[in-house]
Amino acid sequence: MIEFARIIGGKINPRLFLMANKNKGPMLNPNNPELKFALAAVRQAALLVKHIQAEMVSPALTKDDRSPVTVADFAAQAAVARALAETFPNDPMVGEESSGALQTPEEAETLDRITAFVSEVCPDADQETVCKWIDYGAAEPAQRFWTLDPIDGTKGFLRGQQYAVAFAMLVDGQVQLGVLGCPNLTDGYKQEIGGPGSLLVAVRGEGAWTTPLTGAEDFKQIHVSERSDPAMARFLRSFEAGHTNVSQLDLIADEMGVAAEPVRLDSQAKYAILAAGAGDLIFRLISSKMPDYKEKIWDQAAGSIIAEEAGGKVTDLDGKPLDFTQGRMLLNNRGILASNSHLHAAALKTLKAVGA
């Protein structure tokens, strides 16, 4: 596995940060310490999760066995939190996991396994420090903080398909930097299991970019599609229906006259494909089974800035900007609509027409 200290201490070749236009256009600042840190942290976590998936996920895995994703979730959060505490010790982290459930006799074996995997990238890891690092993510949002989803798309992870490590920095309630680690996407948009994977990154005002998760760094700027005909829109749809309303999504497609087959995958990897122009619309509708559901900030922060910096638009289902000032959830928003910008007005009109 790759050691975090070596990644964060290494030099980024400015030549690899290609300008969209030699005279104008956004360009990543290779000397941005937050950028260098976030890229290194997500790369390390994504490779660790990929390693755990290879070790623990097999065809013999029973449908109800979630132990691989449990181990990977906690291990990735511990590794990222440890790196954050070392690099920006004054920055809190808002994470999805806490170690309380692990510190029971029933979960002793799970904690042992988590600690063993974390020690592969953090040689000083033991059970006590691993729990401490996990709980670093129990902080509340502050003026400046980071938020992490160590594995977004748990069902995709267990199927050996798409998932993402999602990490973002927020300042004054606005996402300023986001990184997605997508081990099974190539060039930021092609679904390739076992390929080199992708890192997608955006810094506010500096565009959206992708580089391989493994292999030589080669940052390339990405842009959303120019598609404006609703009938040609490519929906990005989840395999899982837990947090959306599938029947309403079908109504929306019919209302818009959509003929194209949807692109199906789990997780914020959908934002990556939208940003790279290989999909056009993402809907997170309100499920009738969970009418009061509110999005968690770590499920949207990283992906939303990447989509926006690629030229896309992200709002809630009423067209309101996402409000990251309300703690751990988007309490002032209802669902999610992300688009290539050109189709946003038509999508909002359709949502109103079908009562979504």
Give the global pTM.
0.92
- Percent of residues, the chain, with pLDDT higher than 70: 90
- Examine the pLDDT at 244 and tell me if it is beyond 90: no
Contact 176, 33 (CB under 8 A): no
Eight-class DSSP state of 179: E
Which residue type, as a one-letter code, is found at position 258? V
Look at residues 174, 162, 173, 166 and name the one whose alpha carbon lies nearest to residue 95.
166
Binned at pLDDT 50, 70 and 90, residue 5 comes out as very low
According to CATH, the topology of domain 4-222 is Fructose-1,6-Bisphosphatase; Chain A, domain 1 (3.30.540)
Q: What is the pLDDT of residues 30-82, one digit of tens each?
A: 789 999 999 999 999 999 999 999 999 987 667 678 899 999 999 999 999 99
Taking residues 242-271, report their average pLDDT.
89
Q: What is the pLDDT of residues 133-166, one digit of tens each?
A: 999 999 999 999 999 999 999 999 999 999 999 9
Q: Note whether 4-222 and 230-354 share their fold.
A: no
Q: What is the pLDDT of residues 320-332, one digit of tens each?
A: 999 999 999 999 9
**CATH numeric code, 230-354:** 3.40.190.80
pLDDT at 307: 98
- Examine the pLDDT at 18 and tell me if it is beyond 70: no
Contact 228, 343 (CB under 8 A): yes
Binned at pLDDT 50, 70 and 90, residue 126 comes out as very high
Mean per-residue pLDDT of the chain: 91
- Examine the pLDDT at 1 and tell me if it is beyond 90: no
Eight-class DSSP state of 317: T
- Examine the pLDDT at 352 and tell me if it is beyond 80: yes
Contact 320, 351 (CB under 8 A): no
pLDDT at 19: 38
Which residues are part of the catalytic machinery?
73, 154
Contact 262, 129 (CB under 8 A): no
- Examine the pLDDT at 240 and tell me if it is beyond 70: no
Give the lowest-confidence range in 18-22, 96-100, 136-140. 18-22
Contact 303, 268 (CB under 8 A): yes
The residues spanned by each domain of the chain are 4-222, 230-354
Taking residues 204-213, report their average pLDDT.
98
Cα separation of 331 and 314, whole Å? Answer: 16
Cα separation of 223 and 221, whole Å? Answer: 7
